Amino acid sequence: MESKTIYFERLGGPTYIGRPNGEHAREVLKLDSLDENKNMRFVVDIPETTYNINSSYFLGLFGDSVRAAGSIEKFRERFTFRTHGKDYRVIDRGIERALVRDKGLGIQS
Amino acid sequence: MKKQTYNNQYLLQVRAEKALKQSLKDRSGSTKRPPYKRLPLDYLNKVKPNSTINETTEIVSLVVPKIFCLITNPEATLEFLASAANLVNFLNLKQLVLDHSEVEKHDLGAEVLLGFAIKEVEVAANYRNREIKISGKYPESDRKMRLINALGVVQKLEVEHRKSEDDKLEIFDFRGRKQVHLALGAEDDKNRGAKRFVDYLNRCLAYTKTELTQSGREDFLDYTGEIIDNAERHSDESKWYICGYLDDTDDGDSQQITDAKGANAAQQSESSDTAIEETEPQFCEIVIYNFGRSIADTFLELSDDSFAKSLVSPYIDHHTKKKLFTKTWRERDLLTLIALQSYISCQTKDADDDCGQGTVDLIEFFHRVSEETTDFESTHINMTIISGFTALYFDGKYRLTKNEKGREIIAFNDENDLNEKPDSNYVKSLTKAKFPGTLIAIRFPLSAKYIKPVEDESDNTPS
């Protein structure tokens, strides 16, 4: 089992905002190719000094990984978030949103 | 008859006379368009104002409307702003008087944009080597005057004004620019602006020895960050603007109390008036705006075979088939409304794309604050999103509700059904004026649940 730690403080901070920033971080971390290795496990270290991670940043960075995992449980199995005691609601919210498929609202005539 | 020949001396004289005439013409500034007009002003005065003022006049007096609010009176306010911006075409203008004396209600967005427009008119005139004498009349209320001084036309023109030591104002004025080259780890304007804005809010709360809770801070940042993200992604312009204003000054002629009484005059008793005076929460105003394409424009420009277009087309087709569109409910209004819904964005590329989150976050935050605010009806939150010719108004009456597919929907009708027309009081189709871009304006009380007492009373420094 391989493991990689993603240190958020190396990605910027203390605020993490913007989908392009999240996507750029994903590109630099080469998460697309790392995701293909099903034996890879990730630890995401979020420093205590973090002010906020917003939804778009999270989705830009992890959205494709969530969908590659296919479920909340499988994603959580692969990605462990080390938050130093803080509760980041954006994590659960982001995972949930990334998994919602079938875009569109459905129109009833 | 001897043929007239032109010798060199005569030709030189003719040429000199022509050159002199041209030079005099250039100096008098009688060109049809002023040579200087910055892009934002050009956006503002693209809307043809319904003005009867002759553009050759030298003296103009603009009377600011009584309800000068983008949130509650968008069309008339935007129309007035277009008139102000159009002054850039008054090439003979020497004197301008801005008369706020009749203003009964105003908001941050209206005053900020007015200041913006007048400043640009002044700069354009200076560029033509002309000077415009600008003066004005304040409204009666000190509270209104403070806003104009802090972030309105007085501030933009850098006019010296009376300040009181008792004034308790917290002002935020940030201009950001889209990051072209993303450097990992570097702080861009988006992050800097959002963080500073939260710090600003904590400074506001320090007046009452309170601060944002962690969740409050997270939510404010999330909300602000998402809006800025949207502004950068959907705007032609690389710039966005965010303003904040909190007036915690204690004076007897509070606009909040005036508004409260005005909003509920028929229902309030004397005891509730006293209760409002004693416990009126702080109101914070936020305005975030960018110039460029409107929300509807970005969808209209999509190719018919784009995935994003396929998401909205069924709605357009349905409303067309049912003949629901009218002069007050148009296709672009529907597009703007649809864009608010979750997972709908002009950037959505395929079914896996989770774009379309920002506005949902904004609405969710707004509703959370609305739910947790005080019981006073007068402290309801007002919010508007104005994009192009469509203005959406929020006051908590219509809610974002999840459907069976887990999508948040807000349709602005009792059925919460996007198949039906929305309430025209909440989804307004503007005809006389528009906002050339997207503007979000919010006025809300800071909720008790987001606020906690600072633990050490001797330390008022926000964390």
pLDDT in tens, B56-107: 888 999 999 999 999 999 999 999 999 998 898 888 899 999 999 999 999 9
**Structure confidence by residue, pLDDT tens digits, A28-79:** 999 999 988 888 999 999 999 888 888 889 999 999 999 999 899 999 999 9
Burial of residue B251, with CB atoms counted within 10 A of its CB: 0-12 exposed, 13-18 middle, 19 or more buried: middle
Instruction: For residue A52, give the nearest of B185, B222, B318 by CB distance.
Output: B222
For residue A41, give the nearest of A88, A6, A91, A10 by alpha carbon.
A6
**Structure confidence by residue, pLDDT tens digits, B410-448:** 899 998 888 999 999 999 999 988 998 889 898 876 655
Instruction: For residue A105, give the nearest of B233, B357, B407 by CB distance.
Output: B407
Position B37 pLDDT exceeds 70? no
What average pLDDT does chain B have? 76
Tell me the nearest-neighbour CA distance from A5 into chain B, angstroms. 16
Contact assignment for B191 to A12 by CB distance below 8 Å: yes
Q: What pLDDT is attached to residue B61? A: 93
Segment B154-163 long-range contacts (CB within 8 Å, at least 24 positions apart): B154/B115, B155/B115, B156/B115, B156/B116, B156/B118, B156/B119, B157/B115, B157/B118, B157/B119, B157/B122
Task: Average the pLDDT over B123-133 and give the result.
Answer: 87
Position B173 pLDDT exceeds 90? yes
Cβ contact B368:B382 at 8 Å:
no
Contact assignment for B195 to A15 by CB distance below 8 Å: yes
Tell me the nearest-neighbour CA distance from B248 into chain A, angstroms. 26
Position B140 pLDDT exceeds 70? yes
- CB-based contact, A91 to chain B, within 8 Å: no
Contact assignment for B405 to A17 by CB distance below 8 Å: no
CA distances from B336 to A90, B9, B77, B202 (A): 26, 69, 20, 33
Range among A25-39, B22-36, B192-206, B234-248 with highest mean pLDDT value: A25-39
CA distance B352 to B239: 30
Query: CA B292, B367, B113, B65: dihedral to nearest 10 degrees?
Result: 130
Report the DSSP beta bridge partners of residue B68: B106
How many residues appear in chain B? 463
pLDDT band of B349, cuts 50, 70, 90 = low
CA distance B423 to B212: 35
Q: Which two tokens stand for residue A37?
A: 């290795």
Q: Which two tokens stand for residue A63?
A: 């959205």
Tell me the nearest-neighbour CA distance from A103 into chain B, angstroms. 6
Q: What pLDDT is attached to residue B108? A: 96
Contact assignment for A102 to B351 by CB distance below 8 Å: yes
CA distance B143 to B169: 10
β A15-16/B390-394 pair status:
unpaired
For residue A70, the tally of other CB atoms under 10 A from its CB is 10
Position B48 pLDDT exceeds 50? yes
Question: What is this structure's pTM?
Answer: 0.78
Position B335 pLDDT exceeds 70? yes
pLDDT band of B202, cuts 50, 70, 90 = confident
What average pLDDT does chain A have? 86
User: How big, in percent rounded to 5, are the helix, strand and coil portions of chain B?
Assistant: 40, 20, 40
